[in-house]
Chain A
Amino acid sequence: MTSKAVFSTIRRSLTKPRGGAVSRGHHLSTSAATASESYASDEHAILMKGVRISGRPLYLDMQSTTPLDPRVFDAMNASSIYDYGNPHSRTHLYGWEAENAVEVARIQVAKLIGASSKEIVFLSGATEANNTVVKGVMHFYKDKKRHVITTQTEHKCVLDSCRHLQQEGFEVTYLPVKTDGLVDLEMLRESIRPDTGLVSVMAVNNEIGVVQPMEEIGRICKEHKIPFHTDAAQAIGKIPVDVEKWNVSFMSMSGHKIYGPKGVGAMYVRRRPRVRLEPLMNGGGQERGLRSGTLATQQVVGFGVACELAMKEMEYDEKWIKRLQERLLNGVREKLDGVVVNGSLESRYAGNLNLSFAYVEGESLLMGLKEVAVSSGSACTSASLEPSYVLRALGVDEDMAHTSIRFGIGRFTTEEEIDKAVELTVKQVEKLREMSPLYEMVKDGIDIKNIQWSQH
């Protein structure tokens, strides 16, 4: 009955907007935190999954995905209409035109990372690229090399590929990270063995945003002549990436993290010195035999344009995002204490701010922040109630890990959105702390860790 009234209200508002607040009486208890803000027109309310919000939340989740840049959209439209030929058809104009479009995109991607266009392989995303490299390299060298080194904070696809390799009989070392999220170079040096076939360290972490010391790791790998793979999905277009300076042999890139389309990614495979890998997708031998299958021309074109844009706008975006990050952090720190930034603040990509709020319960914080689209933990692990493995690897306590919120700032974020996010977060945290007996105890000076809880 209630939902029928609400839906009929929304239907009416779509055809003829009216100024009356028809559905104000139907409050749901879950949205009590947000319904207290009364907006001028309640008819735009959205009812989904039992939660009622008055409008689209503001988007602060740039690490999980980014909106499509209109310039990328424009290029993709033209390509969808005209470049429908199969880029691998050699015999007619349609194939030649599509192939041209793909080659242009290849050059655009290669320029962003300082590589040659012959070293770029397009595939369906960074997950596929990570799988191909980790499994492909080790399978190729399986007679001589049986050991892989990676870190505990890698993306799930890399960790899962390594687990798959372990089941096949390879050995994997998961390097622990320091409390600021960076890899310990001495530990890396010590774990290198004569039969190490691959070192995989991601450039920018998707959960905490720390930037690993790529040049140093590259130097260590070069010394020992081990191929170096990096998952740069969160790094390209955001921090300067150079495959020569970093001495990487493989790099995974993703389209939808740099305002490009979803479903496309690229893999950089070094040609000098040559590194070999066994393809995951067998077939007609497209993409140098490393990834067979017809390319989705308009996706690839979109990815290329997104890379070119990212190269042009990198400095401008960086300045803007850094400014917004400082505004967010200072805004929250002014009003609240007990705010911890997870991961190193110095070696960090500015657009990723992962904060933990002490003495606040994580689920209820997220429930109350329904007007801000943020994420807690990463999208890959938020289905389970387990705290994120990345935060656990940093040594963050379970209760702090549960209350971590990841704010993702991007090219299209505005100052007003940041101010509103600060306002909502502060209000929600203060409200939860008000209700929290633990916080009262802390304010009285009791040390929570040393309490002897009595058994009733």
Chain B
Amino acid sequence: MVDKAQVISLCRSLLRAGRQYPDYNIREYAKRRTLDGFRMNKSLADPSKVEEAYAEGKKQLEVVERVVKVYLAYPPKTKNIMELKLQ
């Protein structure tokens, strides 16, 4: 049975992992998609659906953590204009 604390912890882990992407667009997308994903499933009542969504989220967390390691192994040589502007 998946409880509220686990869901919040999963969301936080996904956000933290997504923040590490070196690419501006993918980083922003990871944040937006995670928050929207959890928001869309907020009102799920059926416990099996909740389990399903949680398992899906866990799988996505594994993917992000793996991929971020590879992306960081090849750091970008130039900064995106959007990142410079934000300075």
Chain B residue nearest to A59 (CB atoms) is B25
Nearest-neighbour CB distance to chain A for B39, whole angstroms, equals 11
The answer to whether the Cβ of B42 comes within 8 Å of any Cβ in the partner chain is: no
A58 contacts B82, C-beta separation under 8 Å: yes
Bound-state Cα–Cα, A371 to B83, Å: 13
The answer to whether the Cβ of A40 comes within 8 Å of any Cβ in the partner chain is: yes
The answer to whether the Cβ of B55 comes within 8 Å of any Cβ in the partner chain is: no
Q: Which residues of B contact A371 (CB under 8 A)?
A: 81
The answer to whether the Cβ of A331 comes within 8 Å of any Cβ in the partner chain is: no
Which residues of chain A (13-56) have a CB below 8 Å from chain B? 14, 39-41, 44, 46, 53-56
Bound-state Cα–Cα, A54 to B79, Å: 8
Instruction: Give the interface segment out of A98-106, A217-225, A413-421.
Output: A413-421
The answer to whether the Cβ of A439 comes within 8 Å of any Cβ in the partner chain is: no
Bound-state Cα–Cα, A14 to B76, Å: 10
Q: Which residues of A contact B21 (CB under 8 A)?
A: 70
Within 8 Å by CB of A55, from B67, B70, B80, lies B80
B67 contacts A39, C-beta separation under 8 Å: no
Instruction: Give the total number of A-B pairs whose CB atoms are below 8 A apart.
Output: 69
Interface of A is mostly: mixed
The answer to whether the Cβ of B64 comes within 8 Å of any Cβ in the partner chain is: yes
Within 8 Å by CB of A58, from B33, B71, B76, B81, lies B81
Bound-state Cα–Cα, A394 to B43, Å: 48
The answer to whether the Cβ of A85 comes within 8 Å of any Cβ in the partner chain is: no
The answer to whether the Cβ of A326 comes within 8 Å of any Cβ in the partner chain is: no
Are A412 and B87 also in contact (CB < 8 A) when A55-B80, A57-B81, A70-B64 are?
A: no
Bound-state Cα–Cα, A58 to B60, Å: 27
The answer to whether the Cβ of B36 comes within 8 Å of any Cβ in the partner chain is: yes
Within 8 Å by CB of A413, from B25, B36, B76, lies B25
A316 contacts B36, C-beta separation under 8 Å: yes
B63 contacts A416, C-beta separation under 8 Å: no
Nearest-neighbour CB distance to chain B for A309, whole angstroms, equals 11
Most chain B CB neighbours (cut-off 10 Å) among A14, A44, A70, A420? A70
The answer to whether the Cβ of A386 comes within 8 Å of any Cβ in the partner chain is: no
Bound-state Cα–Cα, A411 to B25, Å: 9
Which residues of chain A (125-178) have a CB below 8 Å from chain B? none
Which residues of chain A (413-437) have a CB below 8 Å from chain B? 413-414, 416-417, 420
Are A414 and B25 also in contact (CB < 8 A) when A70-B67, A71-B63 are?
A: yes
A55 contacts B29, C-beta separation under 8 Å: no
Bound-state Cα–Cα, A40 to B82, Å: 13
Q: Which residues of A contact B49 (CB under 8 A)?
A: none
Q: Which residues of A contact B84 (CB under 8 A)?
A: 39-41, 44, 54-55
The answer to whether the Cβ of A74 comes within 8 Å of any Cβ in the partner chain is: yes
Are A70 and B26 also in contact (CB < 8 A) when A14-B77, A44-B78, A56-B80 are?
A: yes
Are A55 and B77 also in contact (CB < 8 A) when A40-B87, A67-B25, A73-B67 are?
A: no
Interface of B is mostly: helix
Chain A residue nearest to B68 (CB atoms) is A70
Which residues of chain B (52-76) have a CB below 8 Å from chain A? 60, 63-64, 66-67, 70-71, 76
Bound-state Cα–Cα, A67 to B87, Å: 25
- Residues of B in contact with A, size category: 20 to 34
Q: Which residues of A contact B82 (CB under 8 A)?
A: 58, 414, 416-417, 420
A74 contacts B66, C-beta separation under 8 Å: yes
Bound-state Cα–Cα, A77 to B71, Å: 12
Nearest-neighbour CB distance to chain B for A51, whole angstroms, equals 14
Within 8 Å by CB of A74, from B36, B63, B77, lies B63
Q: Which residues of A contact B4 (CB under 8 A)?
A: none
The answer to whether the Cβ of B51 comes within 8 Å of any Cβ in the partner chain is: no
Bound-state Cα–Cα, A416 to B82, Å: 8
Most chain A CB neighbours (cut-off 10 Å) among B23, B25, B66? B25
Most chain B CB neighbours (cut-off 10 Å) among A40, A55, A57? A55
Nearest-neighbour CB distance to chain B for A37, whole angstroms, equals 9
Chain A residue nearest to B29 (CB atoms) is A412
Bound-state Cα–Cα, A59 to B78, Å: 14
Within 8 Å by CB of A41, from B24, B64, B87, lies B87
**Can you sample 14 A-B contacts with CB below 8 Å?**
A54-B81, A54-B84, A55-B79, A55-B83, A57-B81, A58-B81, A71-B63, A71-B67, A73-B70, A74-B66, A77-B70, A413-B25, A416-B82, A420-B81
Q: Name A's B-contacting residues (CB within 8 A).
A: 14, 39-41, 44, 46, 53-59, 67, 70-71, 73-74, 77, 316, 371, 411-414, 416-417, 420
The 8 A-B pairs with the shortest beta carbon distances in the complex, nearest first, are A412-B25, A55-B81, A70-B67, A56-B80, A55-B84, A40-B87, A55-B79, A414-B28
